[in-house]
Amino acid sequence: MDTTTLQIDTGEQFRIIDITERVAEWLRGRGDGLCNLLAQHATAGLGLMETGSGSEHDAQEALRRLLPRDDDIYTHRHGSRGHGGDHVVPLLVSPSLTLPVVGGRPVLGTWQSIVFVDPNVDNPTRQVHASFVADGQPGGR
Amino acid sequence: MDTTTLQIDTGEQFRIIDITERVAEWLRGRGDGLCNLLAQHATAGLGLMETGSGSEHDAQEALRRLLPRDDDIYTHRHGSRGHGGDHVVPLLVSPSLTLPVVGGRPVLGTWQSIVFVDPNVDNPTRQVHASFVADGQPGGR
Amino acid sequence: MDTTTLQIDTGEQFRIIDITERVAEWLRGRGDGLCNLLAQHATAGLGLMETGSGSEHDAQEALRRLLPRDDDIYTHRHGSRGHGGDHVVPLLVSPSLTLPVVGGRPVLGTWQSIVFVDPNVDNPTRQVHASFVADGQPGGR
């Protein structure tokens, strides 16, 4: 199985980062199968959304409303303010994302981009494990 | 890899539509492997839930509470009211869903159905990309 | 395709249960590929999160805030209080989770555990369908 680890520079603020090109570049030439992406962190997620039109900001605000960054409401408290809520993010925005790959290209809709969702302000660098599983019946049926 | 595109008629209102039969029909006869379903849109998701007992309505109301359809709170605004919130839906309800397939049938619990979640009122027809990846070791171990 | 069903004892209260060891044990020796886990229920989900530091409790409280256990707001009502909301949980916390497997071990981050999320108080025993799909090109490229 082909695998790699993508290093994502997320900086020290809540960031939603488009990683579509990074993933597409890695998949180039790999044929048909499934690509699994796994954000290897307990305070991050992966998603598919439109980028570049303001929805990254809207999504951040929505997550802040849904999981308030008020430390008092969380049992798990350490690090920066809101870190307790950051640990709940992966339940709502899963760190595991699987995409179909056809002819070495990830299948996506016109307005879909792959994003790394990182509310955590304490870790400026993050890792995404990428794996490509080839179809076991390459000739199709 | 076997793939197809399912056209889903979602109409011009917030809809949660059961597509289990459509998927099961396409998988029939395909053996063992994984089926990935991808809603190729930036304002839709896929899920597994019970249908036919009112939970579709409950889920719609819940999503409306979680992502209010008040245009003033979103940066990304165009189209119909609430469209900004629609763009956040895919982060909470992922457009990518992977299911095990055994003997050409999707594995599901008794009360589980595959649903297409479409809050978007502007696009009456939607597309789901389906792919089937066969196990690379058909004989098992 | 290798498959099994894991029985999970969730008891009669809202529980988030770490099943990492159960999954890892089943995968041991299986080589490279993808593992799909499917909670075969309409009121449960699967996730990846840190366990043992209080985040299970925080996640439960967050889900209770997001999907209030007030029966009056749900159409689908039967069983114990909050059961209507339990049916919406799988849209936010998907019952399907796919993980990469390398050398017979699930790939996870240091702080990531596989959890079974069961808000339902009426069913003390739950089932997770596990499947392992081997890479179709075992030699890699």
pLDDT tens by residue, B35-61? 999 999 999 999 999 999 999 999 999
Q: Could you tell me if B82 lies within 8 Å of chain A, comparing CB atoms?
A: no
Q: Residue B63: which domain range?
A: 2-134
C140: in domain:
no
Instruction: Give phi and psi for B65, each to the nearest 5.
Output: -70, -40
B96: in domain:
yes
For B48-109, the three-class secondary structure string (H helix, E strand, C coil) is EECCCCCHHHHHHHHHHHHCCCCHHHCCCCCCCCCHHHHCCHHHHCCCEEEEEEECCEECCC
B140: in domain:
no
C141: in domain:
no
Question: How many other C-beta atoms can be found within 10 angstroms of the C-beta atom of residue C69?
Answer: 17
B75: in domain:
yes
Q: How confident is the model at residue C65 (pLDDT cuts 50, 70, 90)?
A: very high
Chains that touch B (3 or more CB pairs under 8 A): A, C
The tally of domains found in chain B comes to 1
Side-chain half-sphere of C15: how many Cα atoms within 13 Å?
Answer: 16
Instruction: Find chain B residues with C-beta within 8 A of C41's C-beta.
Output: 109, 111-112
Given a cut of 60, whether residue B140 has pLDDT beyond it is no
Nearest to C87 among B55, B61, B138 (CB): B55
> Per residue in B2-39, pLDDT tens?
999 999 998 888 899 999 999 999 999 999 999 999 99
Question: Under an 8 A CB cutoff, do C131 and B107 touch?
Answer: yes
A43: in domain:
yes
Beta strands per DSSP E along chain A: 2-9, 15-18, 33-39, 45-49, 96-102, 105-106, 113-118, 125-134
A141: in domain:
no
pLDDT of B82 reads 83
Question: Under an 8 A CB cutoff, do A87 and C57 touch?
Answer: no
Q: Could you tell me if B42 lies within 8 Å of chain A, comparing CB atoms?
A: yes
As to burial, measured by CB atoms within 10 angstroms (0-12 exposed, 13-18 middle, 19+ buried), residue A120 is buried
As to burial, measured by CB atoms within 10 angstroms (0-12 exposed, 13-18 middle, 19+ buried), residue B137 is buried
Nearest to B36 among A93, A100, A109 (CB): A100
As to burial, measured by CB atoms within 10 angstroms (0-12 exposed, 13-18 middle, 19+ buried), residue B21 is exposed
pTM over 0.90: yes
Structure tokens at B14: 């917030």
Closest residue in C to B37 (Cα–Cα): C96
Beta bridge mates, B138:
none
ipTM for this model? 0.95
Query: Is residue C5 within 8 Å of C122, Cβ to Cβ?
Result: no
> Per residue in C114-129, pLDDT tens?
999 999 888 889 999 9
> Per residue in A108-128, pLDDT tens?
999 999 999 999 888 889 999
Give the CATH number, domain containing residue B112. Answer: 2.60.120.460
Chains that touch A (3 or more CB pairs under 8 A): B, C
C72: in domain:
yes
